[in-house]
Amino acid sequence: MAGIVVTGGGVAGLTTAVLLAGDGHHVTVLERDATVAPTPSEAWDVWERRGVNQFRLLHFFAPRFRIELERELPHVVKALEAAGALRFSPIAGAPVELTGGVRDGDDDFESVTGRRPVVEAVLSAVAEESVGVTIRRGVAVAGLVAGAQAVRGVPHVTGVRTSSGEEIPADLVVDATGRRSSLPDWLEAAGARRPPEELEDSGFVYYGRHFRSADGSTPAIIGPLAQAYGTVTTLTLPADNGTWGLGLITSAADKAMRELRHVDRWTATVQSLPLAAHWLDGDALEDRIVVMAKIEDRHRDFVVDGVPVATGVAAVADSWACTNPSLGRGASIGLLHCLALRDTLRARGLDDPASFSAAFAHATDSVVEPWYRTTLSFDRHRLAEIDAEIGGEPYRPESDEWDMFQSLGFAAGQDPDCLRAMLSTVGVLRTPAEALAAPGLADKVAALGGGWRHAPAFGPSRAELVSIATG
Ligand SMILES: Cc1cc2nc3c(=O)[nH]c(=O)nc-3n(C[C@H](O)[C@H](O)[C@H](O)COP(=O)(O)OP(=O)(O)OC[C@H]3O[C@@H](n4cnc5c(N)ncnc54)[C@H](O)[C@@H]3O)c2cc1C
């Protein structure tokens, strides 16, 4: 059994700790934010997390997050539900004409979801109670400690150094410090090659607000939780304890839409969107619109030409790769990554650090990377579509990938098989390529989905939208 240091105590860090301690490892989580985690019922009101920019922004936890937790850590799902998390099925609540009735396997589309502070408070409480997990809050990691090399010329990490100068030894350091992870700097300072990085501003801005109903219900769901209306996307995300998140996503280049940061302009704009307007019918939980911009798409390679940049260290979840989160996949992709790490550790152990690094890179490439790539592709197309619409042009990319995404969504409204294929991509169950590989599905999508370009918009035109948003 190994002594493992996890840097960062967010969703991925806490889950990694619980998973690895479950296999008997001794895990220490080092979290920079000093605040003691409150109880789930207090979390929304009292928990500030300076280390996580998106902490108070809209979150929806996709079915894959629930499925993997139920399989691997069922007590976490029980604790989430005890804290008021919502078990939500897009099939159970939808008209039979759309779903064709409930089928075997529809349970897969169920999620257990809640506001981010509530979900993280539950994860924190479970981690605190897990035998083998120690959480040290208020400890900022400042660098890595390297020891005798396992591969000639490749630094081998043997621990971390904190900002107060303390050195904490580890058989393996797992970096879960999220989007703003400084791991490349730490590696370079330890003498390693800097991991190659793809980095770009995703180009989206989020304008969100949370609400609560008086009776514990959540608004009726009409259509997908994320819906595009020309140059804005709405997010209508049911959450825990009769709360929900309501958001608008725009292109950062869309200057007119920057007025959405004002409560009155944001509210008027949502009121103009017929399928989302009723999500305003509740008590607002914030007195302002919570805005987040400069959301990066970023991906790092830690094994280059078959050689790890360093051994004794592994990056998981957002530290490894992150995207614009409009599809709500981040926590699920992160959990898949944490599980890949746990499985690699089970299979390889740490006796041969190079073999462990290679095996984890392979697992990352095969299990996690396809989700990163398809999410990135969707986002890039959507941003280009918005930019084209602002310019008054239809978006006609050379590749047929965007047509495939859109056709699947359009066919989902007409055929129960296509609906389930679409939900499986949304739920992080099957990539679009896997979903379309089902017998006969691609033909159905081609036959039913082609009309998406001419579908009527259930909302204002671009000119009307600009007029409403700018008052
Ligand atoms: C606007 C927005 C909306 C999102 N919505 C969704 C959604 O609806 N559904 C979904 O599944 N995902 C969503 N995500 C993504 C999701 O938040 C993350 O993918 C998920 O939380 C996993 O993050 P993580 O644990 O890797 O990093 P984080 O949650 O960012 O945690 C990193 C932790 O590391 C700590 N840390 C940083 N540096 C140090 C250091 N030097 N020393 C010690 N600790 C340190 C931080 O304080 C923090 O606690 C969203 C993201 C954004 C930006």
Three-state DSSP at 315 gives strand
Q: CA 339: distance to chain centroid? A: 15
Q: What is the mean pLDDT of residues 204-226?
A: 95
Q: Which atom of ligand 1 is nearest to the CA of 59?
A: 8
Q: Between the CA of residue 328 and those of 33, 59, 162, what are the distances in Å? A: 24, 7, 32
Q: Between the CA of residue 338 and those of 16, 239, 342, 464, 470, what are the distances in Å? A: 5, 24, 6, 45, 44
Q: Which residue has the tokens 């462990």?
A: 356
State residue 129's pLDDT score.
98
Please, what is the Cα angle at 276 between 274 and 277, to 5 degrees? 70
288 burial type by CB count under 10 A (0-12 exposed, 13-18 middle, 19+ buried): exposed
Q: Pocket around ligand 1: residues whose beta carbon is below 6 Å from it?
A: 7-13, 30-33, 51-52, 54, 57-62, 140-141, 176-179, 206, 292, 295, 317-319, 325, 328-332, 334
State residue 206's pLDDT score.
96
405-426 residue pLDDT tens: 999 999 999 999 999 999 999 9
Specify whether the CB–CB gap between 297 and 324 falls below 8 A: yes
CA-proximal residue: ligand 1, atom 41 (nearest): 141
381-404 residue pLDDT tens: 999 999 999 998 889 898 889 999
CA-proximal residue: ligand 1, atom 1 (nearest): 54
CA-proximal residue: ligand 1, atom 37 (nearest): 177
Type of residue found at 95? P
Ligand 1 center to 296 CA (angstroms) = 12
Per-residue confidence band for 453, with pLDDT thresholds at 50, 70 and 90: confident
Length of the chain counted residue by residue: 471
Q: How far apart are CA 427 and CA 422, in angstroms?
A: 9
Per-residue confidence band for 324, with pLDDT thresholds at 50, 70 and 90: confident
Q: What is the mean pLDDT of residues 210-217?
A: 97
Q: How far apart are CA 429 and CA 323, in angstroms?
A: 18
Ligand 1 center to 7 CA (angstroms) = 12
On the CB side of 239, how many CA atoms lie within 13 Å of its CA? Answer: 26
Q: How far apart are CA 172 and CA 387, in angstroms?
A: 45
Q: Which atom of ligand 1 is nearest to the CA of 51?
A: 47
Q: What is the mean pLDDT of residues 236-257?
A: 96
CA-proximal residue: ligand 1, atom 46 (nearest): 51
Per-residue confidence band for 455, with pLDDT thresholds at 50, 70 and 90: confident
98 burial type by CB count under 10 A (0-12 exposed, 13-18 middle, 19+ buried): middle
Please, what is the Cα angle at 210 between 208 and 211, to 5 degrees? 140
Question: Model pTM?
Answer: 0.97
71-88 residue pLDDT tens: 999 999 999 999 999 999
CA-proximal residue: ligand 1, atom 53 (nearest): 54
Q: What is the mean pLDDT of residues 245-265?
A: 96
Q: Which atom of ligand 1 is nearest to the CA of 179?
A: 30
Q: Which atom of ligand 1 is nearest to the CA of 55?
A: 17
Ligand 1 center to 197 CA (angstroms) = 19
Type of residue found at 161? R
Which percentage of the chain shows pLDDT scores above 90? Answer: 92
State residue 45's pLDDT score.
96
Residues 6+ apart with CB under 8 A from 451: 410
Report strand pairing: 243-251 vs 204-212. Answer: antiparallel
Q: Give the residue, 369 or 325, on which the prediction is more confident.
A: 369
CA-proximal residue: ligand 1, atom 31 (nearest): 10
Q: Between the CA of residue 177 and those of 5, 30, 71, 314, 322, what are the distances in Å? A: 12, 10, 25, 11, 12
Q: CA 347: distance to chain centroid? A: 27
Q: Which atom of ligand 1 is nearest to the CA of 65?
A: 11
24-35 burial code (b ≥16 CB/10 A, e <16): ebbbbbbbbbee
Looking at residue 368, the DSSP 8-state letter turns out to be: I
Specify whether the CB–CB gap between 445 and 411 falls below 8 A: yes
Q: How far apart are CA 139 and CA 142, in angstroms?
A: 9
Three-state DSSP at 154 gives strand
Count of helices and strands (H, E) across the chain: 16, 21
Q: Which atom of ligand 1 is nearest to the CA of 334?
A: 22
Q: What is the mean pLDDT of residues 208-224?
A: 95
What phi, psi does 227 have (nearest 5°)?
-130, 135
Ligand 1 center to 435 CA (angstroms) = 28
Q: Which residue, 109, 113, 106, 60, is CA-closest to 87?
A: 113
Sign of CA dihedral 434, 435, 438, 441: negative
Q: CA 200: distance to chain centroid? A: 17
Ligand 1 center to 261 CA (angstroms) = 23
pLDDT(223) > 90: no
Q: What is the mean pLDDT of residues 32-40?
A: 97
Q: Which atom of ligand 1 is nearest to the CA of 8?
A: 34
Ligand 1 center to 177 CA (angstroms) = 8
User: Helix 116-129 to helix 74-82 angle, to the nearest 10 degrees?
Assistant: 130
Q: Return the best residue to mutate from 177, 237, 248 for the ligand 1 pocket (most ligand atoms within 8 A of CB).
A: 177
Specify whether the CB–CB gap between 423 and 90 falls below 8 A: yes
Q: Return the best residue to mutate from 28, 30, 31 for the ligand 1 pocket (most ligand atoms within 8 A of CB).
A: 31
Q: Return the best residue to mutate from 19, 32, 290, 299 for the ligand 1 pocket (most ligand atoms within 8 A of CB).
A: 32
Q: CA 114: distance to chain centroid? A: 13
Three-state DSSP at 155 gives strand
268-278 residue pLDDT tens: 999 999 999 99
Q: How far apart are CA 123 and CA 40, in angstroms?
A: 9
